[in-house]
Amino acid sequence: MRPHVLPLALCAVLASPALLAATPIDQTRPLDPRGRVEIDNLKGRIQVRAWNRGEVKLSGMLGDGVERLVVEGGGDHLVVKVQYPKQIGIWRSGHTGPTDLQLLVPLQASLDIDSVSADIDVDGVAPQSLSIDTVSGQVVVAAAPGSTDISSVSGDQRLTLNSRDVKVQSVSGDIDLRGRLGGEVHGETVSGSLSVDSNGGALRQLSTTAVSGDTTLRVALADSGQIKVETVSGDIRLRTPKSLSARLSAKSFSGDLTAPGAKVRKEEYGPGSSLDQRYGDGAGEIRLETFSGDADLSFE
């Protein structure tokens, strides 16, 4: 090998994206106060906070080997994406370090956040809409969005929301949703537990489904509101104010059913039980259905 070839080869290796050192982030871009911000970070952390400025400030640190931070748009739509190097069309994210992405956004800017394993921390914002999609990252939110849609696979969700419409989904992660909830809440889990506390807020509609995860609800029901809860083997625990006005129906194949003043009916042949009960004027409707789990309604 000629003498000058080795030094050149070493320089090329040291300059390759997979071996570049972590890079500080420091950018500011204009955004309308009610604009939309899309954030995409594969792994590491995404932190979002609000401020009273018509711009987005980006800070943090790009992970080792990350190709670059893509920041595009402005005005009413800004895209922030951590771009990873490619090799023959395959993402080489496994050879890169985690990126710590921190954003200050206008208070009411809508947020659309995507990640795979990045932890997501959103606090103090009041967006028109909030959407989060992650696989294994942990999600922590304290916000007042107009509408909320959060989905995870194995990551847990700890949510404190003042929101009129909420949709949450998880496979094996636990969901803990609380706050001044009103309007509609929809929750789905497979093996993760689901807990909802409306903090006195009256819901027009609450629907949840689970396979083996337990469902615990502490909610008030609006006039003519509806609650529908379904599980396979998970237990259902529903707590409502004594002023509840609703018609209750509950069914289980092999689980136990309990509700104030209700008489449980057993099937004449084979397993299965059900109950029906009217509370107050019976303005709303509550349906609890489980296969092998228990279902219990109680007042507080």
In a shared domain, residues 291 and 159: yes
Q: What is the pLDDT of residue 103?
A: 98
Whether 33 shows a pLDDT value over 90: the answer reads: yes
Q: How far apart are CA 195 and CA 202, in angstroms?
A: 16
Question: In 52-163, at which residue ranges do the beta strands (DSSP E only) sit?
Answer: 55-62, 68-74, 77-83, 86-87, 90-91, 99-106, 110-114, 119-123, 129-133, 139-143, 147-151, 157-161
Verify that 117 and 259 share a domain, yes or no. no
Query: Is residue 220 domain-shared with residue 83, that is, in the same domain?
Result: no
End position of a domain, from candidates 69, 93, 128: 128
What is the band of 2 on the pLDDT scale with cuts at 50, 70, 90? very low
DSSP H or E run through 186? strand 183-188
For residue 49, give both structure tokens. Answer: 């906070």
Helix (H, G, I), strand (E, B) or coil at 176: strand
Nearest to 98 by CA among 144, 30, 46: 46
At 21, the pLDDT band (50, 70, 90 cuts) reads low
How far is Cα 109 from Cα 100, in angstroms, rounded to an integer? 21
Task: Give how many domains the chain has, as a whole number.
Answer: 2
* Number of other residues whose CB lies within 10 A of the CB of residue 98: 20
Average pLDDT for residues 98-118, to the nearest whole number? 97
Looking at the fold, whether 197 and 262 belong to one and the same domain comes out as: yes
What does the pLDDT read at residue 279?
Answer: 98
pLDDT, residue 271, reads 87
What CA dihedral angle connects 50, 56, 57 and 60, to 10 degrees? Answer: 80
Residue 24 shares a structural domain with residue 105 = yes
Res 45 pLDDT > 80: yes
Q: In this structure, are 26 and 71 located in the same domain?
A: yes
pLDDT confidence bin for 84, thresholds 50/70/90? confident
Average pLDDT for 142-147: 98
Q: Which domain holds residue 225?
A: 146-300
- Using the predicted structure, report yes or no on whether residue 15 has a pLDDT greater than 80: no
- Residue 243, burial from CB neighbour count under 10 angstroms (0-12, 13-18, 19+): exposed
Asked if 162 and 285 sit in the same domain, the reply is yes
Residue 64 DSSP one-character state:
T
Tell me what pLDDT residue 270 has.
75
**Same domain, yes or no, for 294 and 187?**
yes
Q: pLDDT at residue 147 above 90?
A: yes
Q: Do 92 and 233 share a structural domain?
A: no
Domain end call among 85, 100, 128: 128
159 and 225 housed in the same domain: yes
Say if residue 88's pLDDT is above 50: no
- Band the pLDDT of 8: cuts 50, 70, 90: very low
Q: How would you classify residue 94: left for phi > 0, otherwise alpha for psi between -120 and 50, otherwise beta? A: alpha
Question: Per-residue pLDDT for 3 more than 90?
Answer: no
Alpha-carbon span 86 to 112, nearest angstrom: 24
Quote the pTM value. Answer: 0.89
Answer yes or no: is 4 within a domain. Answer: no
* Per-residue confidence (pLDDT) for residue 87, from 0 to 100: 52
Residue 253 has pLDDT above 90, yes or no: yes
68-77, 243-252, 262-271, range with the lowest pLDDT: 262-271
Judge whether 84 lies within some domain: yes
In a domain, 136, yes or no: no
Tell whether the model's pLDDT for residue 248 goes beyond 90. Answer: yes
Q: Please provide the average confidence, as pLDDT, over all residues in the chain.
A: 91
Q: Which of 98, 128, 158 is the last residue of a domain?
A: 128
Q: What share of the chain is helix, strand, coil (3-state, %, to 5)?
A: 5, 55, 40
Residues 164 and 113 in one domain: no
Residue 140 domain flag: no
